[in-house]
Structure 1
């Protein structure tokens, strides 16, 4: 069985990373894809901020430091491929929304769905709100909080020595050199779903720098039955908090799982 999973993941990786497919996705998504190509040729320097214009008119201001995350979403379709391409009905939840690339893509692809976007980092949250407002996306709602295994508050540590930091991490204690700390409210996924009376979550996207284990290992069976699809990035820490263990756990919950590339897992109910 393990060999079958390895072969399945290898095939998915090769198809997922095809340059033809990636640029085909970009052309399908962007109205001004040729300008993006010229921006790439300039070394992402001219202009300093490139405004990507999606086919439905949505505009995405893009700085050079954000190009990797942008490509993951609009070229790789990072979080939703190769899940069976059925029409999504229900709420889409974006955990770790960053500046909103997945949120904007989901609004483009599924305009009939409500998108709930959770982002704890103040700098990213500010840009996320601006991107939603700039495009008058009434179906997208940004919430500034972390999501983990329990409701309360969490302390984030942010490396102040790296240029343009965008990925804060939950820390156990303060005091490390070269870090900036800030405290944000935190919710668990059960509370989010219950307080908002969510009956169907069409898609759950997770990119929360290791907190995926706390979120998913603490979610109730009743709410698992409401979640149709999951796309997430994972990190490996120990015997329980690793990609293989999480996939096995989700399979027991009734999901088909595929590791498309290392640490990128897609799941859907079977």
Structure 2
């Protein structure tokens, strides 16, 4: 499979290759062929968590592997996709343009509005599509870079009447974003699905405790209360204490 991907990456235009990745993912997803892979457990579990009519924020929407699912199961609600890379934004727009419940923003979230540099890691000559990240100050890299626009999350999201669910995958930039989102989280108390880098883990767990959240996990395709720090890699799920029992029903 890796050899096939590498060949396709070399011979296809980038836009075609990225669209092919999206189509391939949803072919396997819809056939339930990814259901037993730990890295895709939340892609299936969100069907049990999301309620039709929810307002969902997808921060770091990437190629839309969650965004399209959110849109499918939530036709009466709204999905706000936030993706800074123009080539990924183009994929999202291509596959979600006919869905009236989807809004897509070609920006990154951060403390101050302006520009930032994203690093696009390569492995074996191929861009690792799930790993682009905003570079730290004065960071140098041998990998390709790309300039993106940054907006403050409050300015982008403050007009929303409610926020029910936030999914966030921003490769280590989550601490900065959630410092800015604290006000909205306190107001709306959304369920939060988030990938947390090792360096931010302690601070993020403390932040969610302060905000009145409990950590939950998945066992045998069921939501359960998490005991202690999550051991496996992947996303964390944080639920407001007031919503835990309802979610466990």
TM-score (norm 1): 0.65
* 2:233 equivalent to 1:262: yes
Secondary structure at the aligned position of 2:170 is classed as coil
**In structure 2, C-alpha distance between the alignment counterparts of 1:64 and 1:115, rounded to whole Å:** 18
Q: How does 1:121-140 map to 2 (within 5 A)?
A: 121-133=85-97, 136-140=98-102
Secondary structure at the aligned position of 2:66 is classed as helix
Q: How does 1:225-236 map to 2 (within 5 A)?
A: 225-236=187-198
Alignment partner of 2:112 out of 138, 146, 150: 150
1:105 aligned residue: 69
Change in 2 beyond 3 A, CA 1:172/1:251: closer
Once the two structures are superposed, residues 53-108 of structure 1 have per-residue CA deviations (whole angstroms, 9 ceiling, x without a partner) of xxxxxxx964399749x769973341684897463544211000011121100111
Preserved CA contact (<8 Å) 1:83 1:266: no
1:11 aligned residue: none
1:248 aligned residue: 206
Structure 2: gaps of 5 or more residues: 9-17, 219-231, 243-249
* 2:148 equivalent to 1:184: yes
Q: CA deviation at 1:149?
A: 3.2
Structure 1: gaps of 5 or more residues: 1-39, 49-59
Q: CA deviation at 1:252?
A: 1.5
Secondary structure at the aligned position of 1:172 is classed as coil
2:166 aligned residue: 204
**In structure 2, C-alpha distance between the alignment counterparts of 1:98 and 1:174, rounded to whole Å:** 25
Q: Which has the higher helix share?
A: 2
Q: CA deviation at 1:123?
A: 1.7
Q: CA deviation at 1:229?
A: 0.8
Change in 2 beyond 3 A, CA 1:165/1:174: farther
Secondary structure at the aligned position of 1:183 is classed as strand
TM-score (norm 2): 0.70
Change in 2 beyond 3 A, CA 1:73/1:233: farther
**In structure 1, C-alpha distance between the alignment counterparts of 2:52 and 2:186, rounded to whole Å:** 17
CA RMSD of aligned residues (A): 3.5
Preserved CA contact (<8 Å) 1:89 1:202: no
**In structure 2, C-alpha distance between the alignment counterparts of 1:73 and 1:218, rounded to whole Å:** 38
